[in-house]
Structure 1
């Protein structure tokens, strides 16, 4: 058998060197590629996250920047536009003094007809309105009931009171807004309340199967929130110039996201969900644990826009953001970095006075004092008496 030409006698020293080099490099290969929930090359991937579609001072055409960012966000949801008639039907009512609670069934999308809770003041309208967006919290038996008191279901009534005691100082946020003269709407996200059952462990498979179906779990939520905003704004009792999105925790992300996507939303209150990607992708943070993170991640979006960049697409709408100084889910330095980035965008719109932030002394909660401040802020923004 003939030796390869490069290993014939005159080239034997070179062949030996190549063999030695091959043996040396043969010991130098990736043997441990996973570090906890991350690949070992995560720092290299992080370094690529430059967010090229974020606002910079060099951008002068703000409407064009916002339109491009909104289009990129919508593209990342993997959803199609949906103009299905809502076809609402009230199936139950309850008198609550100055307002009426309704259970209303409507077409949230072309594929989902849902039951929502709607609160309507008795006083003559039209009224300002608030789309309330519930949190995740790892509890799926209630969704809309986390924000508006249910009736006719003792188990959910008890669960709602427990949730309000834990996160809202014992008050149902939606009912308080209705007492103040707002029309209030809350619906279940997919997997919560009527739209379950879902468990923490099942979320990952659900998200994967959305991808198998050419869709996205987070994108479906964004579409549904967009549609809920349109439904609320179109109600005859509502002053469509004054429609707020308000949410806590995952609901806060939903609130600033729908404010970025929807012209129906004219103001936003977001409580305990804002930070930078770099600040969240740290050891021990909830964002690294999978499962529930799928509800809030659009495929590929972070290659273009960071979380505060997406929220900034809502500018120059009035926006109020709350964070807890002791909230372990959202490290305060990262929150403050995100707020500073957002403030620059509102300033570029000459609307610095419309963007406000509050750092609460506690953790992951929306206490009564903060609620009162938020509702008073909304009243002022909507030209109502505080």
Structure 2
């Protein structure tokens, strides 16, 4: 054996790391639950384009703790889906409320932060620094789910596939992820940066998302399809809670969470009100300069064949939409947002199903936008 070959052999682990650590049971689950059954042919086409797997029975929910602070009662919940790690979620309600309350599923953003998930949306006694940073950077410092609950809603915020409690185990990253992460770590050392555990995980997870998307495609699904699977399960859990009025359900999300909000409104006829914030444009406007601004959560292969992103709203059974645009959004060109707005106005003319709102500023769910969204939810869900 040559010296170079011996060096290569010494650097190769005896056991090849798993590319889907923590999710080794994922392929079997998708084979056993190949297809979500949607309520209409139009919704089924969308579901099949994303490759949304079917769900199992409603999972048992465990309540871990409950605390009341400043007008809101927060309960930490968890449940086990049919694959991968256990899901953590938080149910937030007005303190002392008597049901049934209108229910809202609060959908966290992508944000390049997979170390955490829905904790960025909830006031917690021990908020992790990464959640606090996400809240400060993307939500104007507000805990969105808790603020919604104080307005009279029961709000469920959950970690979805690949985030927080549902993240992949990257303690021994697969080879491509390890190689890319090593370069990032070298740059940190050169810059004198001491990364936190969250920084290191998020760097690895950013590279690993390509591997997850590759695995999902091989299994006949997609990153967005797997996220939608988890969101549909959470919606079923919310609807089944005794203090929730299952006939008055809505969802809200910013950025990647806004895309999840649109997807959920199409996939489930339960949704009556959907807020899509900083996640609306035309697909054409992403070419050629804006593709790299977005993750696999938006860019599902072949999705454009079903129509443009704003046109997907017509596949929702009965949802009303508030779509909020930020005029200086770094992730979307202004002309793409305005074209999407014109398409939506045309598609829903006279129906009252679409409200578009343009605001100054960048890719942030500002306090003013959140107030507008809460007013929309209250009015649409009529209480």
Q: Provide TM-score, normalisation by structure 2.
A: 0.76
Q: Offset of 1:192 from its aligned partner?
A: 1.6
Matched, 1:179 2:125: no
Report how far residue 235 of structure 1 moved. 1.2
C-alpha distance in 2 between matches for 1:186 and 1:108: 16
Gapped regions of structure 2 (runs ≥ 5): 1-38, 169-203
Aligned match for 1:274, one of 263, 273, 280: 280
Distance 1:258 1:112, change over 3 A: farther
Q: 1:341 Cα deviation (Å)?
A: 1.4
**Structure 2 contact 327–358 (Cα < 8 Å) conserved:** yes
Match of 1:132 in 2: 106
Tell me how far 1:149 sits from its aligned partner.
2.3
Q: Distance in 2 between matches of 1:165 and 1:299?
A: 32
Report the 3-state secondary structure (helix = DSSP H, G, I; strand = E; otherwise coil) of the residue aligned with 1:294: coil
Q: Is the 8 A contact 2:310 2:343 kept in 1?
A: yes
CA distance in 2, matches of 1:87, 1:305: 38
Pick which of 125-134 and 194-203 moved more. Answer: 194-203
Equivalent residue number for residue 339 of structure 1:
341
1:112 Cα deviation after fit: 5.6
In structure 1, how many angstroms separate the alpha carbons of the residues matched to 2:279 and 2:318? 19
Name the SS of the counterpart of 1:117 in structure 2. Answer: strand
Distance 2:306 2:131 in 1: 38
Matched, 1:188 2:162: no
Q: 2:122 matched to which residue of 1?
A: 148
Give the distance between the partners of 2:48 and 2:233, measured in 1 at CA.
16
Quote the residue 2:267 is aligned against.
261
Instruction: Identify the residue that residue 104 of structure 1 maps to in structure 2.
Output: 77
Structure 1 residue runs of 5 or longer lacking an equivalent are 1-65
* Cα RMSD (Å): 2.0
Tell me how far 1:109 sits from its aligned partner: 4.9
Change (3 A) 1:218 1:382: closer
Partner of 2:188: none
2:29 aligns with none
Contact 2:58 2:237 in 1 (8 A): no
- Seen in structure 2, the aligned counterparts of structure 1 residues 333 and 282 have a Cα distance that, compared at 3 Å, is same
Alpha-carbon contact 1:69-1:310 (below 8 Å) kept: no
1:116 and 1:187 in contact (8 A); partners too = yes
Partners in 2 of 1:279 and 1:150 — Cα distance?
39
Q: Secondary structure at the match of 1:279?
A: helix
Residues 309, 194 of structure 1: alpha-carbon distance in 2 compared, 3 angstrom cutoff: same
Deviation at 1:338, TM superposition (A): 1.2
**Cα offset, 1:199, TM superposition:** 1.4
Instruction: Decide which structure has the larger Cα Rg and report it.
Output: 1
Retained in 2: the 8 A contact 1:134–1:250?
yes
SS in structure 2 at match of 1:199? helix
Q: CA deviation at 1:108?
A: 4.2
CA distances 1:301-357 after superposition (whole Å, capped 9, x unpaired) = 21222211113322642210101000021112111211221222222xx51x23101
TM superposition shift of 1:147: 1.1
Structure 1 equivalent of residue 248 of structure 2: 242
- Looking at structure 2, the residues matched to 307 and 78 of structure 1 have their Cα atoms a distance apart, in angstroms, of 17
> 1:143 & 1:150 partners in 2: Cα distance?
13
Contact map agreement 2:53 2:226 (CA 8 A) in 1: no
In the aligned structure 2, how far is the partner of 1:357 from the partner of 1:108? 36
Q: Partner residue of 1:321?
A: 323
